[in-house]
């Protein structure tokens, strides 16, 4: 071993990391751990770097080595938990966060413990730990955001939307397509004649759900531009004075506002949720048989997609219910599809095409993805299959949605989807 040289490599790695040369920094940290395998700080800094480079498996290995060298270090426990969260293993992460928050607690672990609980669906306990985190660190924006999500899930919109705004102060804040003066609650009284740009912030479903506020701003006299994902431009045509794909110039604006901040701006409560926006609905074909659309998977890049999407084989019992003509209402699938499920594929070039298909259906059965928001916004009967740990927007312990009168929620009970599929199949057989 060469501890002196190891420390030099470690210090050089820190300097290179601070200068933004992460490749060279990684090499130095690895050299330090090779020269002095018992230099715990080098393993920790290597793990931190690897996490930032989105290499959580390697980060976990480095953090475990650091814990081996200091088995009672609560900071090392915390680091392991963060890597496990990155890997989508919240139950394992929680065990480490629990140890990190005992005795002389590692303060950063309070909010992380809450995040693990939230991902596991234990929202009440998560809320408690987010609040513990905030008592220790009132400016912990991630904890404030997590508290907001928990409050929204239980229907406490007055406090929940305010906490939800903390997402923009977090280190991994959503990237917005346009900067400018943010629209606030106090701006609504004088909004007439002002140009407001509303910006898509996250997924397709989020845009569809919250674009309902654009007509409300126009009703107050504002000139509204919607800046949205290109695949939604045709669908949302007419909701604003202009609907423009992200990346195109919008001109000068008096105010900008992310779509998901509009419930906060309008002080939305459960009793004041506006109806869905009237979307473009090209005429769809009508048939004599009952026509049902099916969407079984969402965006695979979503952090919770493994909970939301359902293997098509699990839904196979629905496809044998007699008297139904089945249509796939998504354009991503592993082919071939089961017999009896009609595939529209590349004909669904954007969401306006999908809306035309849905317009000719009698019912849509879908997992928690953009199709749920689209079909329910159109007023089509929509059955949404929800994981036990459902997203905050579907609230808790109810089978309806204040956001969509056309939606019926089917919640997972325990592990697996078979119970949901059995209940949906029975209801489908009796449906007329």
pLDDT in tens, 20-53: 999 999 999 999 999 999 999 999 999 999 999 9
For residue 86, what are its two tokens?
């990155």
Comparing CA positions, the residue from 34, 2, 32, 37 lying closest to residue 14 is 32
pLDDT of residue 139: 94
Question: What stretches in the chain show pLDDT beneath 70?
Answer: 1-3, 281-288, 303, 335, 432
pLDDT in tens, 185-231: 999 999 999 999 999 998 999 999 999 999 999 999 999 999 999 99
Comparing CA positions, the residue from 374, 329, 362, 58 lying closest to residue 208 is 374
Q: Are 86 and 47 in contact (CB under 8 A)?
A: no
pLDDT of residue 287: 53
**C-alpha distances out from residue 95 to 78, 114, 143, Å:** 10, 12, 19
pLDDT of residue 335: 67
pLDDT of residue 286: 47
Comparing CA positions, the residue from 319, 326, 338, 308 lying closest to residue 417 is 308
Residue ranges matching CATH 1.25.40.10 in the chain? 3-169
Is CATH 3.40.50.2000 the right assignment for the domain spanning 290-430? Answer: yes
pTM: 0.86
Residue ranges matching CATH 3.40.50.2000 in the chain? 290-430
Spatial distance between the Cα atoms of 430 and 424, rounded to a whole number of angstroms: 10
pLDDT of residue 276: 94
Positive or negative, the CA dihedral 99, 100, 104, 105 is negative
Comparing CA positions, the residue from 350, 364, 370, 330 lying closest to residue 204 is 370
pLDDT of residue 432: 67
CATH annotation of 185-265: 3.40.50
pLDDT in tens, 349-366: 999 999 999 999 999 999
The Cβ of residue 271 has, within 10 Å, a number of other Cβ atoms equal to: 7
Q: Which CATH number fits domain 3-169: 3.80.10.10, 3.30.450.40, 1.25.40.10, 3.30.300.20?
A: 1.25.40.10
Comparing CA positions, the residue from 236, 241, 238, 213 lying closest to residue 225 is 241
For residue 23, what are its two tokens?
């490749």
For residue 352, what are its two tokens?
């306006």
Spatial distance between the Cα atoms of 27 and 48, rounded to a whole number of angstroms: 14
């Amino acid at each position: 071993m060469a501890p002196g040289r190891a420390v030099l490599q470690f210090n050089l790695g820190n300097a290179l990391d601070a200068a933004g040369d992460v490749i060279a920094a990684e090499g130095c940290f690895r050299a330090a751990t090779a020269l002095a395998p018992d230099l715990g700080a080098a393993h920790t800094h290597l793990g931190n770097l690897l996490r930032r480079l989105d290499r959580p498996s390697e980060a976990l290995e480095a953090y475990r080595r650091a814990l081996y060298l200091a088995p009672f270090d609560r900071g090392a426990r915390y680091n392991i938990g963060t890597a496990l969260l990155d890997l989508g293993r919240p139950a394992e992460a929680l065990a480490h966060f629990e140890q990190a928050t005992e005795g002389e607690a590692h303060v950063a672990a309070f909010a992380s413990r809450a995040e693990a609980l939230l991902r596991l669906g234990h929202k009440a306990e998560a809320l408690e730990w987010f609040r513990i985190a905030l008592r220790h660190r009132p400016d912990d924006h991630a904890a404030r955001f997590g508290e907001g999500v928990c409050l929204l899930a239980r229907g406490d919109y007055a406090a929940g939307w305010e906490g939800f705004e903390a997402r923009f102060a977090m280190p991994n804040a959503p990237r917005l397509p346009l900067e400018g003066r943010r629209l606030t609650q106090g701006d609504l009284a004088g909004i007439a004649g002002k140009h407001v740009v509303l910006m898509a912030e996250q997924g397709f479903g989020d845009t569809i759900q919250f674009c309902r506020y654009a007509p409300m701003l126009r009703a107050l006299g504002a000139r509204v531009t919607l800046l949205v994902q290109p695949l939604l431009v045709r669908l949302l045509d007419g909701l604003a004075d202009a609907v423009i794909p992200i990346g195109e110039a919008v001109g000068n604006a008096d105010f900008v506002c992310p779509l998901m901040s509009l419930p906060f701006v309008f002080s939305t409560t459960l009793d004041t949720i506006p109806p869905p926006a009237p979307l473009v609905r090209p005429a769809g074909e009508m048939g004599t048989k009952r026509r049902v659309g099916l969407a079984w998977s969402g965006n695979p890049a979503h952090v919770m997609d493994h909970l939301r999407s359902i293997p098509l084989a699990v839904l196979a019992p629905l496809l044998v219910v007699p008297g139904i003509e089945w249509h796939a209402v998504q354009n991503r699938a592993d082919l071939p599809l089961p017999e009896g499920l009609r595939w529209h594929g590349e004909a669904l070039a954007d969401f306006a095409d999908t809306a035309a298909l849905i317009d000719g259906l009698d019912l849509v059965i879908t997992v928690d993805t953009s199709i749920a928001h689209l079909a329910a916004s159109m007023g089509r009967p929509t059955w949404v299959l929800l994981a036990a740990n459902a997203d905050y927007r579907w609230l808790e312990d109810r089978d309806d949605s204040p956001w969509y009168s056309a939606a019926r929620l089917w919640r997972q009970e325990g592990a697996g989807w078979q119970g949901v599929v059995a209940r949906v199949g029975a209801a489908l057989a009796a449906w007329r």
